[in-house]
Amino acid sequence: MSTRARIRSEIRRALVVIESPAMRSVAADLEDVVGSDAPAVVEGERGTGREMIARLVHFAGGRRDGAFVAIEAAAAPRPLVDRAAAEPAAEPLRAAAGGTLLIKNLCALEPAAQRQLAAALREPAAARARVIGSCDHDLDAAVEAGVFDAELYEHLTVHRIALPPLRERSEDIPPLATHFVRDYGRQAGRPHMTLSSRAFDALVRYPWPGNVAELKDLARRLVIRAARTRIEAGDVDAALPAVAERVPLEEMSLEEVVRAKLREFLRRMDGYPIDGLYEDVLQRIERPLFDLVMDHTGGNQLRAAEILGLSRNTLRRKLVDHGLVARTLRARDRAAANATPKAAKVARRPRGRDD
């Protein structure tokens, strides 16, 4: 078997299902990444399989005999690059020399560490590890906002793998679910587990905030709980809330939280109302947003308007519409009360020559 054919085979085995155009594009990109030795970035939401892709690139590529070292950016050693370290293992780049270093959640890397890593990546490739970064943020936007080092960005984005969220590759959901159910069924001694067409429909309708990882977890639960070898839509509906509840709020993006709450809101309403849904939802979202921003600014309407990107007159009208004027005044009073002791302390300070 040729090297290219071997790489293609390993990619297909790792990705499990490559039916959607998005995943066919990912598979094609991976062939180039695995066959290369250059740095790469794997982008995607939580649960899309970023670390799995990084491991695939390492173990299917030319550095598979070297070490695979994975670190969390937020917990990276300080300094990240320390040539004076007594033990090579104390420095991630040296620990992964000849192999691959995966830096997870790349955007959380401190600015100093970003600069150190950018400098290290100028070295000859043979003398260091191959670096792969993973992130769930838009790196381009992070660079534009000045929170991610532009030089490091240029070094790392030689290759970019963008993993689509599961909700955007719905045609892959039935075959993925089938694969996971069969796999867990074999492990549980129930090799003939199947899903009905209505069960597939229920799976496709769900938004999957946890992506493939959530689907895999659901499949395990369905196999464990199933009273029969055929899983029905009712089984799926009963299991989905339990899976969703396991996703910690702090690990969900704002969009995922809003999506989950809207889904529950619509479920309680027994479907979509005939009219007025847009205005109703906006009213319910705007009020806590304005309330929190006004509290944050201590009732300062000018600053709140700047944060929200609204004119002061528009903000005032919104505060009246949402019945938040009284709360705004209380926030301003609290801010003034908190500032008073500090101001009094300053006033009592003895005057010096430079005052």
Secondary structure in 3-state letters for the chain = CCHHHHHHHHHHHHHCCCCCHHHHHHHHHHHHHHCCCCCEEEECCCCCCHHHHHHHHHHHCCCCCCCEEEEEHHHCCCCCCCCCCCCHHHCHHHHCCCCEEEEECHHHCCHHHHHHHHHHCCCCHHHCCEEEEEECCCHHHHHHCCCCCHHHHHHHCCEEEECCCHHHCHHHHHHHHHHHHHHHHHHCCCCCCEECHHHHHHHHHCCCCCHHHHHHHHHHHHHHHCCCCEECHHHHHHHHHHHHHCCCHHHCCHHHHHHHHHHHHHHHCCCCCCCCHHHHHHHHHHHHHHHHHHHHCCCCHHHHHHHHCCCHHHHHHHHHHCCCHHHHHHHHHHHHHHHHHHHHHHHHCCCCCCC
Beta pairing partners, 195:
231
The model's pLDDT over 37-53, given as tens digits with 9 standing for 90+, comes to 999 999 999 899 999 99
- Characterize the bridge pairing of strands 130-135 and 159-162: unpaired
Q: What is the pLDDT of residue 273?
A: 58
Q: What is the pLDDT of residue 339?
A: 63
Q: Is the pLDDT of residue 345 over 60?
A: no
11 token code pair: 């990619």
Q: What is the pLDDT of residue 241?
A: 62
Which of 221, 244, 268 lies at the terminal end of a domain, its last residue?
268
Query: Are residues 224 and 145 part of one domain?
Result: no
The model's pLDDT over 180-205, given as tens digits with 9 standing for 90+, comes to 999 999 999 998 999 999 999 999 98
Query: Are residues 145 and 9 part of one domain?
Result: yes
Across the range 144-159, mean pLDDT stands at 91
CATH code at 118? 3.40.50.300
Identify the band that residue 348 occupies on the pLDDT scale cut at 50, 70 and 90. very low
Query: Are residues 138 and 27 part of one domain?
Result: yes
Q: Is the pLDDT of residue 329 over 60?
A: yes
Examine residue 114 and state whether it is found in any structural domain, yes or no. yes
Query: Are residues 77 and 37 part of one domain?
Result: yes
Q: What is the pLDDT of residue 353?
A: 38
Examine residue 350 and state whether it is found in any structural domain, yes or no. no
Which of 134, 164, 194 lies at the terminal end of a domain, its last residue?
164
Mean pLDDT (the chain) is 83
CA–CA gap between residue 115 and residue 150 (Å, rounded): 9
Query: For the CA atoms of 142, 143, 147, 151, what is the dihedral angle to 10 degrees?
Result: 140
Query: Are residues 171 and 160 part of one domain?
Result: no
Across the range 284-308, mean pLDDT stands at 89
User: What is the CA angle 170-174-178, rounded to 5?
Assistant: 150
CATH code at 205? 1.10.8.60
Query: Are residues 204 and 261 part of one domain?
Result: yes
CA–CA gap between residue 74 and residue 95 (Å, rounded): 18
Examine residue 225 and state whether it is found in any structural domain, yes or no. yes
Examine residue 92 and state whether it is found in any structural domain, yes or no. yes
Give me the sheet containing 68-72, strands edge to edge: 68-72, 100-104, 130-135, 40-43, 159-162
Contact 275, 302 (CB under 8 A): no
Identify the band that residue 355 occupies on the pLDDT scale cut at 50, 70 and 90. very low
Query: Are residues 40 and 121 part of one domain?
Result: yes
Give me the amino acid identity at 30: L
Which of 148, 164, 180 lies at the terminal end of a domain, its last residue?
164
Contact 173, 202 (CB under 8 A): no
Query: Are residues 218 and 250 part of one domain?
Result: yes
Examine residue 17 and state whether it is found in any structural domain, yes or no. yes
Task: Look up the domain containing 233 and give its range.
Answer: 167-268
Q: What is the pLDDT of residue 74?
A: 80
Examine residue 36 and state whether it is found in any structural domain, yes or no. yes
Query: Are residues 10 and 157 part of one domain?
Result: yes
The model's pLDDT over 80-126, given as tens digits with 9 standing for 90+, comes to 766 555 555 557 888 888 999 999 988 888 888 899 889 888 877 54
- pTM attached to this predicted model: 0.67
Query: Are residues 55 and 17 part of one domain?
Result: yes
The model's pLDDT over 243-264, given as tens digits with 9 standing for 90+, comes to 555 556 566 667 777 777 777 6
Query: Are residues 229 and 102 part of one domain?
Result: no
Examine residue 353 and state whether it is found in any structural domain, yes or no. no
Examine residue 351 and state whether it is found in any structural domain, yes or no. no
The model's pLDDT over 203-234, given as tens digits with 9 standing for 90+, comes to 998 989 889 999 999 999 999 999 899 999 99
Query: Are residues 307 and 201 part of one domain?
Result: no
CB proximity list for 30: less than 8 A, separation 6 or greater: 11, 53, 56, 57, 161
CATH code at 332? 1.10.10.60
User: What is the CA angle 317-319-322, rounded to 5?
Assistant: 110
Domain count, the chain: 3
Q: Is the pLDDT of residue 347 over 50?
A: no
